[in-house]
């Protein structure tokens, strides 16, 4: 008797079979005994104890070594992954858990290409810290995992165009220091080495490496040789590289000087300005609608009255504005409330006079109710004006056009300045400088926020004329120029040594490092490498160089297969670097770091 668990139904089924029955025959008997009308084409047998899929349906049970005491599972091959992208946004995708990781990642990227009408290449995956709960969940074919619904179903009816860019191509500013506080920050090189033990074996399946259904993984660039970054065609890829670089610097995963940190912060500010001060992107399953809340001066004209504007604490929710006498009273009933659906919105702006008024004509039973709103600055005006215009059409700030509307209003105001000056871009009224979200914690402890803000604004003058894509490219190039760029650390015991050291693998060299100080003990260039091999019995990696130097080491807390892939991968990249016209879609891997947070 062979016992099989059908995972979909949580049902154990016993089958009477002999060892010469092939796997296909076992599945046929199982389906017949279940007698359930269902598409079983995506299901396969999984042997939990041996960590292996029984995919060769022509093999017999004896050939696989399956005995009567074996416990098999009949389970779908395609399962859900919660995938976090380098920009910290999460999506849900169905992946074939029986494919090799290399193939699984390729399929994921194909899904992203179909979804975003664009291309993201060169990735890796590991576990999500759960910063963002909003995910995009398409409908998939149960047999091959391909999306059934069109791309528009992921974003609603908003087209993915230049004016409404995809979530992959748009960088989101860090809005709160609490976000940084939630993330893991490596304190030492050993911490960095420990996180790298999670890189997954590209030659084995997800299921074989204990990845479960609906597990949170992170997609990250694994190799650091980036070819063919064309600003005209690679907006998505450039943005994801920018995001990975930004978080690496903010979390101090890579060292940089004080001056470099201010430059990186200035480029972030430039990025924030280019995409508008506030951006709200629409997701298919958005669970909350953005809101505005601030002190606004409100005026209701009446005949035979000289009363002027009165300041209220105003909240903008859905399509309505609620006015309270103070912020403290906002939990109670409002003093005034107005629904802007169907209203007329008219601007009344004078840049030189710093007048930013919004005229509202709100339909009521008696006709039109006239209300004036006065904002304090351009930023506030752009946000509230954009919200009013959408509300008049019956739309909320959750609509994807909100961010574009804010940006257009700010751009229009900028053109009205009598004396256009690049330094106006850094005016506090148009850009919020929050040092806690722009620099790493080290410098927040060293200086006061005002001092850091002043230095960031000063550095911003050098990048104020850059476009969005230029600022991202400059950020990536500066990241690549850092001394520690592209070095992946592993804990290793070198042959003949009695203690553990660190080995750093960069895109062009191997480095033996002191684990306590991080000092380089010895460096070997890939250009001087003859060959490498692995003794799989003792898990030892051996690398030979042209000058007859042989390097052998064992990685204690990680399978040497991972290190072998890094070395082999970089050799592969250095070879391909000779042909700049080839894309590197092969450079895609998973990383799983369950528990390292």
Kindly write down the DSSP assignment for every residue of 504-537, as one continuous string. Answer: EE-SSEEEEE-TTT--EEEEEEGGGEEEEEEETT
Question: What pLDDT does residue 50 have?
Answer: 94
Per-residue pLDDT, averaged over 85-104, amounts to 88
Question: What pLDDT does residue 114 have?
Answer: 65
CA dihedral 554, 480, 104, 182 (to 10 degrees): 90
At 533, which CATH number?
2.30.29.30
Cα 145 to Cα 56, 204, 541, 585: the distances in Å are 20, 19, 37, 20
Question: What pLDDT does residue 576 have?
Answer: 55
Does one domain contain both 297 and 359? yes
Whether residue 252 is contained in a domain is answered as no
**Higher pLDDT pick, 39 / 198:** 39
Torsions phi, psi of 249, nearest 5? Answer: -75, -45
**Higher pLDDT pick, 344 / 419:** 344
Per-residue pLDDT, averaged over 332-346, amounts to 89
Question: What pLDDT does residue 519 have?
Answer: 81
Share of the chain above pLDDT 70, in %: 79
Question: DSSP state, 209?
Answer: G
Question: What pLDDT does residue 530 have?
Answer: 87
Per-residue pLDDT, averaged over 497-515, amounts to 87
**Higher pLDDT pick, 90 / 373:** 373
Enclosing domain of residue 215: 82-220
Whether residue 308 is contained in a domain is answered as yes
Cα 244–chain centre separation: 8
Cα dihedral 387, 390, 396, 400 sign: negative
Whether residue 255 is contained in a domain is answered as no
**Higher pLDDT pick, 187 / 63:** 63
Question: What pLDDT does residue 14 have?
Answer: 93
Cα dihedral 421, 423, 426, 428 sign: negative
Question: What pLDDT does residue 416 have?
Answer: 59
pLDDT surpassing 70 at residue 19: yes
Confidence band, pLDDT 50/70/90 cuts, at residue 464: confident
Per-residue pLDDT, averaged over 505-511, amounts to 86
Mean residue pLDDT across the chain = 78
Whether residue 460 is contained in a domain is answered as no
Does one domain contain both 534 and 586? yes
pLDDT surpassing 70 at residue 413: yes
Work out the end-to-end distance of the chain between its first and last CA atoms, rounded to an integer number of angstroms.
Answer: 44
Exposure of 181 by Cβ count < 10 A (0-12 exposed, 13-18 middle, 19+ buried)? Answer: exposed
Per-residue pLDDT, averaged over 408-430, amounts to 55
Per-residue pLDDT, averaged over 515-531, amounts to 83
Question: What pLDDT does residue 420 have?
Answer: 42
Question: What pLDDT does residue 288 have?
Answer: 53
Number of domains the chain is built from: 4
C-alpha closest to that of 80 among 210, 208, 211: 211
Per-residue pLDDT, averaged over 373-377, amounts to 93
Per-residue pLDDT, averaged over 107-131, amounts to 52
Confidence band, pLDDT 50/70/90 cuts, at residue 352: confident
Question: What pLDDT does residue 213 have?
Answer: 92
Does one domain contain both 146 and 22? no
* H-helix or E-strand spanning residue 501: strand 501-505
Lowest mean pLDDT among 78-92, 151-165, 231-245, 422-436: 151-165
pLDDT surpassing 80 at residue 429: no
Interaxial angle between packed helices 258-274 and 449-460, expressed in degrees from 0 to 180 and rounded to the nearest 10: 70
SS3 state at 310: strand
pLDDT surpassing 60 at residue 415: no
pLDDT surpassing 90 at residue 56: yes
Lowest mean pLDDT among 5-9, 85-89, 111-115: 111-115
Question: What pLDDT does residue 374 have?
Answer: 94
Whether residue 277 is contained in a domain is answered as no
pLDDT surpassing 50 at residue 35: yes
Confidence band, pLDDT 50/70/90 cuts, at residue 292: very high
Does one domain contain both 22 and 117? no
Lowest mean pLDDT among 208-222, 268-282, 526-540: 268-282
Per-residue pLDDT, averaged over 154-171, amounts to 44
Question: What pLDDT does residue 574 have?
Answer: 64
Exposure of 229 by Cβ count < 10 A (0-12 exposed, 13-18 middle, 19+ buried)? Answer: middle
State the DSSP string of 329-375.
GTTS--SEEEE-TT-EEEEEEETTTTEEEEEEEEEETTEEEEEEEEE
Whether residue 107 is contained in a domain is answered as yes
Question: What pLDDT does residue 575 have?
Answer: 62
Does one domain contain both 547 and 501? yes
The length of the chain in residues reads 597
Question: Burial code of 305-343, b = ≥16 C-beta within 10 A, e = fewer?
Answer: eeeeeeebbbbbbbbebbbbeeeeebeeebeeebebeeb
Cα 143–chain centre separation: 28
Does one domain contain both 383 and 493? no
Question: DSSP state, 47?
Answer: E
Does one domain contain both 102 and 173? yes
| Domain end (from 173, 196, 220) | 220
Question: What pLDDT does residue 306 have?
Answer: 57
pLDDT surpassing 70 at residue 276: no
Question: What pLDDT does residue 411 have?
Answer: 67
Per-residue pLDDT, averaged over 302-321, amounts to 82
Q: Rounded to an integer, what distance in angstroms lies between the CA atom of residue 369 and that of residue 519? A: 72
Decide: 2 and 68 in contact? Cβ < 8 Å: yes
Q: Rounded to an integer, what distance in angstroms lies between the CA atom of residue 147 and that of residue 467? A: 35
At 23, which CATH number?
3.10.20.90
Does one domain contain both 140 and 60? no
Question: What pLDDT does residue 179 have?
Answer: 79
**Higher pLDDT pick, 98 / 93:** 98
SS3 state at 54: strand
State the DSSP string of 520-588.
EEEEEEGGGEEEEEEETTTTEEEEEETTS-EEEEE-SSS-HHHHHHHHHHHHHHHHHTT-TTS--TT--
Whether residue 241 is contained in a domain is answered as no
Confidence band, pLDDT 50/70/90 cuts, at residue 201: confident
Share of the chain above pLDDT 90, in %: 28
Does one domain contain both 92 and 14? no
Angle at 281 between CA 276 and CA 285, to 5 degrees: 170
Question: What pLDDT does residue 78 have?
Answer: 95
Does one domain contain both 70 and 136? no
Per-residue pLDDT, averaged over 476-484, amounts to 87
pLDDT surpassing 60 at residue 203: yes
| Domain end (from 397, 425, 442) | 397
| Domain end (from 397, 419, 438) | 397
Q: Rounded to an integer, what distance in angstroms lies between the CA atom of residue 379 and that of residue 406? A: 9
pLDDT surpassing 90 at residue 462: no
Q: Rounded to an integer, what distance in angstroms lies between the CA atom of residue 360 and that of residue 177? A: 36
Q: Rounded to an integer, what distance in angstroms lies between the CA atom of residue 282 and that of residue 158? A: 9
Does one domain contain both 116 and 210? yes
Whether residue 285 is contained in a domain is answered as no
Question: Burial code of 442-471, b = ≥16 C-beta within 10 A, e = fewer?
Answer: ebbeeeeeeebbebbbebbeebbebebbeb
Question: Burial code of 64-94, b = ≥16 C-beta within 10 A, e = fewer?
Answer: bebeeebebebbbbbbbbbbbbbbbbbbebb
Confidence band, pLDDT 50/70/90 cuts, at residue 526: confident
Per-residue pLDDT, averaged over 137-157, amounts to 34
Does one domain contain both 106 and 72? no
């Amino acid at each position: 008797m062979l016992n099989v668990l059908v995972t979909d139904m949580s049902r154990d089924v016993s089958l009477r079979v002999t060892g010469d029955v092939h796997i296909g025959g076992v599945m046929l008997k199982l389906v017949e005994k279940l007698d359930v009308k269902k598409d079983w084409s995506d299901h396969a047998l999984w042997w939990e104890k041996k960590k292996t899929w029984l995919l060769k349906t022509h093999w017999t049970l004896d050939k696989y070594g399956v005995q009567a005491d074996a416990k098999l599972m009949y389970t779908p091959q395609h399962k859900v992954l919660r995938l976090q992208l380098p920009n910290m946004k999460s999506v849900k995708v169905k992946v074939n858990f029986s494919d090799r990781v290399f193939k699984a990642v390729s399929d994921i990227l194909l899904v992203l290409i179909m979804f975003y009408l664009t291309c993201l290449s060169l990735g890796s995956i590991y576990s999500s810290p759960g910063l963002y709960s909003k995910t995009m969940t398409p409908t998939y074919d149960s047999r091959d995992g391909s999306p059934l619904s069109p791309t528009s179903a992921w974003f609603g009816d908003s087209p993915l165009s230049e004016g409404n860019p995809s979530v992959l191509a748009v960088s989101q500013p860090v809005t709160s220091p609490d976000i940084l506080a939630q993330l893991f920050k490596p304190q030492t090189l050993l911490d960095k080495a420990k996180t790298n033990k999670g890189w997954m074996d590209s030659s084995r399946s997800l299921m074989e490496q204990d990845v479960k259904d609906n597990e949170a993984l992170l997609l990250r660039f694994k190799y650091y040789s980036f070819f063919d970054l064309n600003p005209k065609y690679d907006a998505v890829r450039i943005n994801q590289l920018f995001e990975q670089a930004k978080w690496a610097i903010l979390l101090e995963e890579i060292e940089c000087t004080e001056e470099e940190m201010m430059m990186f912060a200035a480029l972030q500010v430039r990025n924030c300005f280019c995409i508008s001060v506030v951006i709200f992107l629409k997701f298919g399953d958005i669970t909350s609608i953005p809101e505005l809340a601030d002190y606004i001066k409100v005026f209701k004209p009446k005949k035979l009255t000289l009363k002027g504007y009165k300041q209220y604490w105003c909240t903008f929710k859905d399509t309505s504005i609620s006015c309270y006498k103070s912020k403290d009273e906002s939990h109670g009933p409002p003093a005034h409330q107005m629904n802007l659906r169907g209203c007329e919105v008219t601007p009344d702006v004078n840049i030189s006079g710093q007048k930013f008024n919004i005229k509202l004509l709100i339909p009521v039973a008696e006709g039109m109710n006239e209300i004036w709103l006065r904002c304090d600055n351009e930023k506030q005006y752009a946000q509230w004006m954009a919200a009013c215009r959408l509300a008049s059409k019956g739309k909320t700030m959750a609509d994807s056009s909100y961010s574009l509307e804010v940006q257009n209003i700010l751009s229009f105001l900028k053109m009205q300045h009598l004396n256009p000056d690049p330094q106006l871009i850094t005016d506090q009224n148009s850009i919020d400088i929050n040092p806690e979200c722009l620099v790493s914690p080290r410098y927040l402890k060293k200086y006061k926020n005002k001092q850091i803000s002043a230095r960031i604004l000063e550095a911003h003058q050098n990048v104020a004329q850059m476009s969005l894509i230029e600022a991202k490219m400059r950020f990536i190039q500066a990241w690549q120029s850092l001394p520690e760029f592209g070095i992946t650390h592993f804990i290793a015991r070198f042959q003949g040594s009695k203690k553990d050291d660190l080995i750093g693998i960069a895109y062009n060299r191997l480095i033996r490092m002191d684990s306590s100080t991080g000092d380089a003990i010895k460096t070997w260039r890939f250009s001087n490498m003859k060959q490498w091999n692995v003794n799989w019995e003792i898990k030892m990696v051996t690398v030979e160089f042209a000058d007859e130097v042989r390097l052998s080491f064992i990685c204690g807390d990680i399978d040497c297969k991972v290190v072998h892939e890094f070395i082999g991968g970089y050799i592969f990249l250095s070879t391909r670097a000779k042909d700049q016209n080839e894309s590197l879609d092969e450079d895609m891997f998973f990383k799983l770091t369950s528990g390292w947070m």
